Structures are given as structure tokens and as C-alpha cells.
Amino acid sequence: MINSKSRKILIISEVFAPEEFLINDLVFSWEKQGFLVSVLTRNPSYPHGKVYPGYKNPFFQKEFIHKIPVFRVQFIPGYKTNKLVKVLNYIWNMFLGYLWAIMNGNKFDSIYIYQTGPLTFSSIGIFIKKLYKKPTTIWTQDVWPDTVYAYGIAQKGLSRIILEKFVKWIYSNCDNIIVSSPGFVPIISKYCPPKKVQYIPQWSATSKLSECKETYQKINYPGKFNFVFAGNIGEVQNLENVISGFETFLKYADSREIWLNLLGDGSQLSYLKQIVDANNIDNIKFWGRIKSSDIPYYYEKADVLIISLENKPIFNLTIPAKFQSYLNAEKPIFGVISGEVANLIRNNNLGWVVSPDNIQEIADAFLEITRCLPETLIEKANNTNILLDIEFNREKIIQEFTEIIFG
């Protein structure tokens, strides 16, 4: 019998360090425990669609991060701003991954797939399984085909038939399917035996503050009371409605010392800045992209953290990784959101929840929050830490994964 620590595990992930994703923490944890892990990913380019400083973009390259072999394939630059390039990039990454898999897939004992977006790159793991009969596990953060439908793509006709057959091929050939939200279970169970599917949540990607840092001293939010949104600023984050609600709120009495701070970058950043400028909306500041290592210090100086998503069925089933990071920050949460996260906020008394589509309701909540007693804010903040420890405990979750993959 092969000792669990002598088994060679291949991690297949479209993103990996130096890109900042939760998979890094899991892989580095396994490496520290002495497990033999390797990673297949693409050359680092997220989120700007261009190669990171210090890297080149050849067809194939290999490096070591800590002691972990990381195998990389080429990407096509410019995928952030051009939809056709984005689609071609998915196909190209997959094609190069298949070539790599033919030459190297048999060197590993099992496959672990971390899926954050398209299933194209994840399909490399299924290709290896079919070619070399390797046990395969997938941890999915983004459920296809429903996410594709939410963007208005492949909703009918031949494209829908092809997409659903591709999705079924992926899920039906996995030995274990792990989902990051319980709402994903019934969706994926349509494409494979339900017994394969289990829910294991994400944990916080940020750490608790253990000491004061120079960065913390330099952070100066503009208001006396500061709402903070941090993360990807894209279309599905529904920030246009958040801004509209805040604009309506500003018309109320004496809101000059209350600010909305938006931290991050994304496809909607320029558009949202144009809205704010065109409508002369006061008390909104765009901070741009913040290093993940500094984010906890920005959270610490916030009064309330905002989480928001469009009101669509698939997004209502999602628990974004940001939610766990917000819990870790021990701050009240304002959810402009429906579904799973809204229920977690309500049921655990973590903050406030409003409909993502109701501008007046959003504005009224801004007013209610800023007028509540300090004791109310403290109580809701304390509840976040309780939920984090019970349901989203990092050590417990990593141990669950370890038992599945190496047990």
C-alpha cells in the first residue's frame, strides 16, 4: 500500500501564486505537511490579462515556489478587454494543457482540480483521468452551465446542447465533487450521481491582525463613518445599484461625514467612476487594487463592510470567498444581496440585508446603519467571529480536504 505522503498529487488550477487565490493556502499547507504536490496552471496574468513582472510567456515553463513544482502554459494577452480573445484564451490554455498532460499526466497518482471559472482548463484533469485512469477530485467555485446562462450565453439551440454535454462529461467523470456552496449541490447532481457531490465551504483568505503595521498607520478613510466594499469590481457585483442607493441616501440630512469606499479593480471600474463624475456624487472614493496582504488593515479601519451581487438565481446560490474574509475582519456586514449569503447574515445577526434591485431600500439601510447605536454594531461584529469559528474554520476545512485527497 502506498503511503499517503509518498503519493504524487497534481493540482490543476487556472490560477496560482503569485496570483492571489485560496488554492495557494491549501497547496502550501499540504507542502508544509510533507505531501508531494505539483501544480499545473497558466502563466500568471490575472486580473489584467498581461504577464506578471519577472515572468515570460512561453508555451511551457517550470518553476519552483517553495519546493512545489509549478508547470505553466501560455496565455493570450488582452483577454480582459476583448471577449473574443477571452474565449480563444480558454481554448488555447486547454489545448496546451492537453499536450502537457499527454507527456506528464502518468507521473501522478491522483488529480485535484480547483475550478474558479470556465471548465475548459479543468477538463485537463478529466483528460488525464481518461488517458491514465487517475482518481480525480474537483472543488468547484463557479457552477457551469448555470453561470454561463446567467451571462446570456448558450441559452438555447445547439450551443446549449454542446455545453450541457461538456459539463456532464466533466462532472460524471470525477470521483469526488466538492462545492463551495450548498446551493450548488442540486445543480451539479443533475449531471452525475448525487452521492459524488458534497459541500465543503471556503475559509477566509485573510488573516487576523496580530500586530500593528506601517500600512495600518497610513490608511486614512475620508469619513468619520466609512462603508467599505473590497474585491472585484465587475458587472455581477451590482455596484451601480449600491452607488445609486448611496446617492439617494446622501440627500438625507447631514451625511457629509459618511463615505462609501470601493477597494479593488475590475471591468466596471471605469464605468462606475464615470457615473460618479457625471452625476457629481459626493463622498465616494475609489481606492484601486489593494495587495491582499494589506486588506486586513483596510478592513480594520472600516465601520461596515458591504457585500453585493446581482439578483440572479445562480448568484443567489453563491457564497463568495469575500464573505469569509469579511467574517474574519469582525465587522458588521451590509448585504445588498439575496439567497445563501443573505440568509447567513439574517440568521446569524451579522448586519443588514436589502434587495439588490431596490434603490430606496438600499438608501434606507444606509440611513438606518449610520443612525444605529454603537452597541448594535459591536454585537453584530462579535457574531461574525462566532460563525467563522463554527462553519468556516480554516483548520477544520483543510483537514477535510486532506482526508479526501490523501486519506
Label the pairing between strands 333-336 and 60-65. unpaired
- What pLDDT, on a 0 to 100 scale, did the predictor assign at position 1? 37
Exposed/middle/buried for 327, CB within 10 Å: 0-12, 13-18, 19+?
A: buried
Sheet holding 304-308, edge to edge: 284-288, 258-263, 225-230, 304-308, 333-336, 351-354
Q: Considering the domain 214-391 in this protein, what is its CATH number?
A: 3.40.50.2000
* pTM for this entry: 0.84
Distance, CA of 66 to CA of 64 (rounded, Å): 6
Per DSSP, 140 falls in state E
Distance, CA of 401 to CA of 27 (rounded, Å): 11
Q: Tell which residue, 25, 105, 3, has the closest CA to residue 324.
A: 25
4-203+393-406 and 214-391 share one CATH topology?
yes
Grid cell in block for residue 244:
445609486
- What pLDDT, on a 0 to 100 scale, did the predictor assign at position 194? 86
- What pLDDT, on a 0 to 100 scale, did the predictor assign at position 210? 52
Q: Which residues contact 279 (CB under 8 A, 6 or more apart)?
A: 247
Write down the domain spans for the chain.
4-203+393-406, 214-391
Give CATH superfamily name and number for 4-203+393-406: Glycogen Phosphorylase B; (3.40.50.2000)
Q: Tell which residue, 145, 136, 150, has the closest CA to residue 191.
A: 145
Q: Helix, strand or coil for residue 337? A: coil
Contact in structure between 364 and 329 (CB atoms under 8 Å) = no
* Low-confidence residues in the chain, pLDDT < 70: 1-4, 150-155, 207-216, 253-254
